[in-house]
């Protein structure tokens, strides 16, 4: 059986985390993601359009590599998502800016990752 429609598409993404429990709390609260524990140092996630990924435990000095890709999430309400991130203990590291076709900001989850959120 072939999955030709998935050829060359991203199948799964892994991110680092300096604190697995904080990661579960943050992404569960802000984005509604659900998690499966695979031991003390790895969790997989899914929910609300996210179907494949995980977080692995890392030391603080290993996080924020300069060559890391930027993951950009979509929000139907950018301001509400920004407020939820702050309420969950995240921080905005690049304030909202406009680009052709929309607006976005970048945030830190407090566990070693920087992601972005965009909207029209």
- Does the pTM surpass 0.85? The reply is no
Tally of domains within the chain:
1
Q: Render pLDDT for 2-56 as a digit per residue (tens, 0 to 9).
A: 567 766 576 678 898 999 999 999 999 999 899 999 999 999 998 665 567 899 9
Separation CA 115–CA 1 (nearest Å): 35
Residue 68 pLDDT class (50, 70, 90 cuts) = confident
Quick check: 87 pLDDT over 70? Answer: yes
**What is the span of the domain harbouring residue 48?**
10-61+68-119
114 is a domain residue: yes
115 is a domain residue: yes
Average pLDDT, the chain: 86
Closest CA to 17 of 70, 67, 72, 59: 59
46 is a domain residue: yes
- Is 117 buried (19+), middle (13-18) or exposed (0-12) by CB count in 10 A? buried
CB 92 within 8 A of CB 79: no
Using the 8-state DSSP alphabet, how is residue 6 labeled?
Answer: G
| CATH code, 46 | 3.10.180.10
Residue 112 pLDDT class (50, 70, 90 cuts) = confident
1 is a domain residue: no
Residue 70 pLDDT class (50, 70, 90 cuts) = confident
CB 96 within 8 A of CB 78: yes
């Amino acid at each position: 059986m072939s999955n030709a429609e998935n050829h060359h598409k991203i199948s799964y993404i892994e991110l680092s985390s300096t604190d697995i429990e904080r990661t579960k709390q943050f992404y569960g609260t802000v984005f509604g993601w659900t998690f499966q524990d695979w031991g003390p140092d790895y969790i997989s996630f899914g929910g609300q359009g996210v179907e494949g990924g995980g977080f692995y435990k890392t030391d603080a000095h290993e996080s924020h590599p300069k060559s890391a890709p930027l993951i950009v999430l979509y929000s139907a309400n950018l301001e509400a998502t920004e407020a939820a991130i702050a309420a969950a203990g995240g921080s905005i590291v690049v304030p909202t800016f406009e680009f052709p076709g929309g607006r976005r900001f970048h945030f830190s989850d407090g566990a070693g990752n920087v992601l972005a959120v965009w909207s029209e």
